[in-house]
Amino acid sequence: MSRTTLRNTPHSIARLAVPVAAIAAATACGGSAGSIAAHRPAVPVAASSSPSTANEGGTIATAKVGGLGQVLVDGQGRTLYLFEKDQGGKSSCSGACAAVWPPVTTTGKPHAGSEAKAAKLGTTTRSDGKTQVTYGGHPLYYYAPDGTAKGSAKGQALNQFGAEWYVVSSAGQKVTKSGY
């Protein structure tokens, strides 16, 4: 190794601070070293395919995801989750939590697609003023490590940020099996 890589330059300190911050965030939020990958930041995507916005209301549908059966997905087939810590239709996930579990937000009325029930769709206002899509009274979220891949459910049954996360059935209930 060269001597310059061992010096405490601002750049070398910054490179060290990012992994240390990720480990601290994981452990502070109920994670463990084994779940550190779950705390990777989301990869930025174009606004038209943003995993955090159901454009102009967007569509909530169902699709078969692994061994989990038919579960809620957005109009692009991305898996949606509920957070057991949420109460009374209000989100309990903000800040670092919302970075890992981006809320499904909308600028219009959400629409029911394949096998989703329109009567179960709704919205709630988040603490930041954005409108989040709900289903069966549960605020809906993406899981950042799923990315924009259809059928990915890496967040199923994880215990992060103080409670468990589950995919959602068309009946608006958590799916507890781990068939992913």
Task: Match 């239709």 to its residue by tokens.
Answer: 89
pLDDT in tens, 96-117: 999 999 999 999 999 999 999 9
Q: Which run of H or E residues covers position 15?
A: helix 10-28
Please enumerate, as own/partner, the contacts of 71-75 that have beta carbons within 8 Å and a separation of 24 or more. 71/153, 71/167, 71/168, 71/169, 71/170, 71/175, 72/116, 72/135, 72/140, 72/167, 72/168, 72/169, 72/170, 73/150, 74/104, 74/142, 75/113
Residues 6+ apart with CB under 8 A from 43: 147
- pLDDT of the residue at 51: 54
Structure tokens given for 119: 């009567």
Task: Match 């394949």 to its residue by tokens.
Answer: 114
In the chain, the percentage of residues whose pLDDT exceeds 90 is: 66
HSE-CB of 37 using CA atoms within 13 angstroms: 7
Residues 6+ apart with CB under 8 A from 162: 29, 30, 85, 92
Domains of the chain, residue spans: 3-39, 47-167
Structure tokens given for 173: 């209930």
Task: Match 């603490």 to its residue by tokens.
Answer: 127
Return d(Cα 180, Cα 4) in angstroms, integer. Answer: 46
Alpha-carbon torsion 43, 111, 96, 38, what sign? negative
Is the pTM here over 0.85, yes or no? no
Examine the pLDDT at 52 and tell me if it is beyond 90: no
Return d(Cα 93, Cα 52) in angstroms, integer. Answer: 13
Mean pLDDT along residues 10-18: 37
Return d(Cα 57, Cα 180) in angstroms, integer. Answer: 28
What average pLDDT does the chain have? Answer: 77
